[in-house]
Each structure stands twice: as C-alpha cells, then as structure tokens.
Structure 1
C-alpha cells in the first residue's frame, strides 16, 4: 500500500535482490498520472506511450541511473531502485544513502525535486511542469533567431500551453529553489554538510522520505521544525499556502 501511494513507510530497512523488482515496478507505475490508468483501461496504449510525462520520467530515470552508477563505480539493480525511489518520491531504500558520494547525493536530490507525474500520488515539482519549463526555454531560444512577428507557442500533446501556466511553472520553481536554499542553509548551521542538508531538505520538500541520517529523534528542534514545515509545504504545495496566507492577512486587515 505504501508503494502504490508513494508513501515510503516500510518494515524493511533496505530492499535487496530477493524482492527488489516488484516494488521497483510498482513505484514506476504509481509515479505516473492517474489518467494513464483510464487510458490503459480503454486500451489506448499509443496515447500512453505519447504522454510527455512518461517520456520525461523514463529519460530522467536513465540519466540519473547513468550518473549515479558512474559515481558509485558499479551498475546494479539497487542503484536503479534508488533512482526510481527518488524520482517517484516513494522513499524506499536499497542502498545506504550515508555511504554515497556527494555527487550521487546531489543527483538524487535533483531527482527528488523533479518528482513524479502531475496527477499522481507523488510529490516534487512534477514532471509536467518540468516539461513546460523545458519547452518554454526552447521556444525562447527559437525567438532569438526568428522574425519579431513570428508566433512561437509552447505545446503539450498538440495543445497550446497558456502563458499564465508557463509563468506559474517558473514562479513555483523560483519559490521552490528559494525555500530549498534557505532551509538547507539553516540545517547546515547545526553541523551538517551542505550536501547532506540539501539532500534532507529536498527529501522533505518533495515528501520523499529518503535520508542521510539527519532526520532522527536526536535532531535539534530548529532543523526539525524546518523539515516539518518543508514536508507540509511539499504536500499542500507552496503557492496555495501563500494564497491562503494572503487571504487570511487581508481578511484580518479588513476587521
């Protein structure tokens, strides 16, 4: 159940080759948009394969697996498991994150920040927003050498993405990065390395659950509160939280 919901709670500390592939497949499936299940039920396999979120998820999985395998110096199923666990924001572990090199920890942090598909149970920025940002960057590059009156649109599956949705994706990315940096800096003040702090905060904000050992009952109250706030912001999302605070402020001010 925690695999399907990308919850990550488990009675198993580390998954091994004996039972690694079933949760690996379930994590991959659970990280995809729920709408894909409907398309699968309707037998529209071609529509599923054309989905940009599925394509980007597979692409990030391959890139992450290659990069982390290079830093680890070994190609194995445990590394693939860890990559999909981070990208799907499920949080299961097949290897000890403490023993990873700093580049491997940073790569896993980026995967957690990217997150699962939009419309899935996973967290993170979501694949769809990353696709929108990437396509808008390509569109802006095209505008540099196209005529000034040329109309260059950002499209997802032949549908034009409105400008306000593109701006929303950039705004969320910007706020997300600011919260990450500030939170990681505060945690690092308590004697943890900046890479470990960034990893732990990325995991909390993406609601993943992977850890390098910072999260524990012995953690001081301030970094513990920071991680609690990050987990909460990651689940309700940052911009809706800002909207609620803004509305609350103006309603109090009117009184």
Structure 2
C-alpha cells in the first residue's frame, strides 16, 4: 500500500475543503454574525495539515485498488470531522451532534439534529448547504480532475467513490470525465439558482436551496423547509430534483446528440416510469382521501415523489399524515432512490433492473438448466462478476438494515420509526416517518445512536463495500491490490 501517496492526496482534499469554506468565512466577516472564529480556526488547521503532506516524498505515483479504498474512506471521515469544527466552536454543539450534521451534509442525507435552523448564523447555514454540493458530485471526483497535474492517476479513487455499479465514464480519461461531470453540475446549479431567484426567492435562500437540490441533500434555510414557498418554486424544485436524480452522463449524451443512447437506456426508462407512476398513484390517493382540489394533490405528490426518489428530502407537506398507501409508495421510493451516476442515494434504479433480470434468468433456468443465459443491459452483456456484485449488494443491504432496525428499537421508539430511520440513513434521504418524520428530527437520540446513524450514512453514500472492507483483515487489502 502506498501510504505516503495516500497521505498526500488526503492532504490535497483537506486544502480543497478549506477553499470551499471561504465563502462562508466571507459572509461571517461581512455580516459580523459571530461565526468567523470557527471558520478561521478550521481553515488554518486544514491548510497546515494539507501543506504538511506536500513535503512527503513518494517513491511512485501509482494507486492500487486498496489505496483507492483507503483514500475514499479516510477522506470522507476526515472532511466530516474537520467540517464539524465550525459548529463545535461557534455554536457549542457536541461532537456527536456536529459530526452527525456534517456527515448528513456531505453524504447528501439532509437529516438534522437542529430544531431551529433560522436562529443560526447565515454563514453556518451556507456551510451546511455547501457540504451538500461538495458531497453530491463528490469532493474526490473533483480531486481526480486535479491529480493528473501531480502525475497521479485517479481511476481507483473514481471507481470507489462514484455511486452505482456501473461508472459513467464519458471521456477517454477519468480526469476528463470528472471535469465534464463537474461542468454539467455547475451549469445545472447556475440554471436552478437563476430560476429560483426569478420565481421569488431571495438570493441567499436561492443559493441554499439550489445547493441542496443539485446535491440532492435537503438542508433548508427555513424551519419548515419548502412549505411556505409558492407553487412555481415547488414545481421548479421538483423538476430539478428529477433531473439531478438522473445519470449525469445522459446530459452529456444529450449535448453530443447521441439520442439513441438516451432512448435505449433501460435505467432511464424505469426511472421515468417509477417517478410518473408514483406521482399518479399518490395524486389519486390524496384526492380520494381528503384533498378537494386535484391540482393541489398533483402538486404535493409531484414534489414529495421527486424529493424522496431523488433522496433530496425537502418537505412541502407533512406526508406523515398522508394516507397509508401514499406513505407506502414513498417508503418504497426511499429504498430505490434514483439512478447510478447521479447525486442521489438509494439502491439505484440500475440495480433494480439487473435484479429483475436475474430473477427472470433463474426462473428460465428451472426450465432450461443447461442453457447459457447472459444478462444484458442497454445492449451490452454484463459480466457475471458484476451481476454477482449487485446480488451481493442487496444481500449486505438487507443484513445491515435488519441488524440496524433491531438496534434502533432498543431506544424504545416504535418499529415504523426504527425502520424508516435506518432506511433514510442508508439511502441518504433525510426525513422518515413517525418519530423521525418531516416535522421531527434526530435530536432526541443519544450520542451513541447519532454516531451510529453517521456510520450508516457513510455506508450508504459509499455503498457499503468501501467502508466495510476497512474492517476486514489486512489480508483482504493485500489481495485486492
């Protein structure tokens, strides 16, 4: 394992984190909101630690798979610890609360332990939302685009950090892919900011909600999230949550006019069917059970379906009081999430596609036991290794979910609260149901459970294997080099 190179790359990541803190520091100084001390303290530490790693000499600049695994895991933990310092210094929040909040930000979960966010300094509110934007596309993907300048190849980092079983490589090199993905990311961010501002949001709220939508995070500058905003804003955010839940490589294909790739994309087709099907069913259910206006039921269903499916977690209505069937659909969407190669969490639609095909294949094997039945996706045959990896992902998801639900029930909360709290952590959604519903938060859990929830958020964002492999024997790390 290339320990020295790992340290240098993590140091670079910490310097990048310091740069992303600068806008919040500028606002803190300009407004004199009392939070500048925490940012100055944290930025100095980040720069000192980052610069110290620049003097480390490395024998070679090649990264093995095990190196990428360690970099991704340690980097996410490191930026979360340092990112929590402003909350600890300026708001006197405990380490468990601060770490939970910032892990929730970086993993784009959007769950919170803060009950009155409107009382917080705007600089800290902005920093929470900036962590969404950084974590959405991935700070490591940004780093990958810089590594070639240092003579380092970043494929192993990109492979371990990017969500989904199939990586969206859209260019001949990983660095160029990372740059193009971030360019698309920035264009979408700018477009949404302008639309929200034109629709009536003030500039600060437009920035906060833009970062939350594009990063599919869910942190708001308002205690009631989106409930007080106008219908045009609700629909604008709904459209962009849908767009950001899609694979970003689709937009590159659209730019290149590769329409056949888009039309034949099986994940995109199922994603569209799930979203519009859920909107139709919930709209109908709401209209039949209390809503007097079909437009209102359509508006609220559209927002909450796109919010939960994209794992953004913004709230326009208290969906915890909706009919059971509507809540059931949202609960299912909470598990599925959106597309691979997006900023969203969840199991990913592409895995559902492959799982369904695997089930069909096993049924056919009962009739034709000797037949060779490969599984294809978008016209390409998938390797058995990839199919087995997807099946293994479902297996480990179920095991972690079952164990965690049992652990959470020991706090005394009901089963619905326990199940939805674990689901929303693993899928990086944010709000759940009952005790962790849209009008509640995670403040009532003790420090142990807040740290455990933080662990679940990291597991979900890095899709289990990256984090869990660190707990395996060193022999395993040697084998995957």
Q: State the TM-score, normalized to the length of structure 2.
A: 0.49
Instruction: Work out the CA distance in 2 between the residues paired with 1:144 and 1:232.
Output: 39
Alignment check: 8 A CA contact 1:79 1:94 kept: no
Instruction: Work out the CA distance in 1 between the residues paired with 2:406 and 2:327.
Output: 16
* Match in the other structure for 1:56: 270
* Match in the other structure for 1:150: 371
* Match in the other structure for 2:385: 164
Instruction: Work out the CA distance in 1 between the residues paired with 2:406 and 2:300.
Output: 30
Aligned residues: 251
Question: Are 1:192 and 2:413 counterparts?
Answer: yes
* Match in the other structure for 2:359: 137
The Cα offsets for residues 54-101 of structure 1, whole Å up to 9 and x where unpaired, read as: 111112223433454465435422112111111111111122133235
Instruction: Work out the CA distance in 2 between the residues paired with 1:187 and 1:224.
Output: 11
The Cα offsets for residues 12-35 of structure 1, whole Å up to 9 and x where unpaired, read as: 413452421111110111111111
2:226 pairs with 2, 10, 14, which one?
A: 14
Question: Are 1:174 and 2:395 counterparts?
Answer: yes
Secondary structure of the residue aligned to 2:213 is: coil
Instruction: Work out the CA distance in 2 between the residues paired with 1:115 and 1:179.
Output: 17
1:103 Cα shift?
4.7
Alignment check: 8 A CA contact 2:226 2:234 kept: no
Instruction: Work out the CA distance in 1 between the residues paired with 2:357 and 2:420.
Output: 27
Secondary structure of the residue aligned to 2:212 is: coil
* Match in the other structure for 2:341: 119
Alignment check: 8 A CA contact 1:97 1:211 kept: no
Secondary structure of the residue aligned to 2:320 is: helix
Instruction: Work out the CA distance in 1 between the residues paired with 2:313 and 2:269.
Output: 22
Structure 2 unpaired stretches of 5+ = 1-210, 292-296
Structure 1 stretch displaced more, 135-144 or 163-172:
135-144
Judged with a 3 Å threshold, the aligned counterparts in structure 2 of structure 1 residues 45 and 27 are, in CA distance, closer, same or farther, namely same
* Match in the other structure for 1:4: 214
Alignment check: 8 A CA contact 1:124 1:207 kept: yes
Instruction: Work out the CA distance in 1 between the residues paired with 2:333 and 2:243.
Output: 17
Structure 1 stretch displaced more, 180-189 or 161-170:
180-189
1:123 Cα shift?
0.9
1:240 Cα shift?
1.5
Q: State the TM-score, normalized to the length of structure 1.
A: 0.88
Map 1:1-255 onto structure 2 (within 5 A).
1-12=211-222, 13-15=225-227, 17-69=231-283, 72=286, 73=289, 74=291, 75-146=297-368, 148-212=369-433, 213-214=435-436, 215-248=441-474
Judged with a 3 Å threshold, the aligned counterparts in structure 2 of structure 1 residues 36 and 250 are, in CA distance, closer, same or farther, namely closer
Instruction: Work out the CA distance in 2 between the residues paired with 1:106 and 1:195.
Output: 11
Instruction: Work out the CA distance in 2 between the residues paired with 1:19 and 1:149.
Output: 56
Secondary structure of the residue aligned to 2:400 is: helix
Instruction: Work out the CA distance in 2 between the residues paired with 1:66 and 1:200.
Output: 26
The structure that has the greater radius of gyration is 2
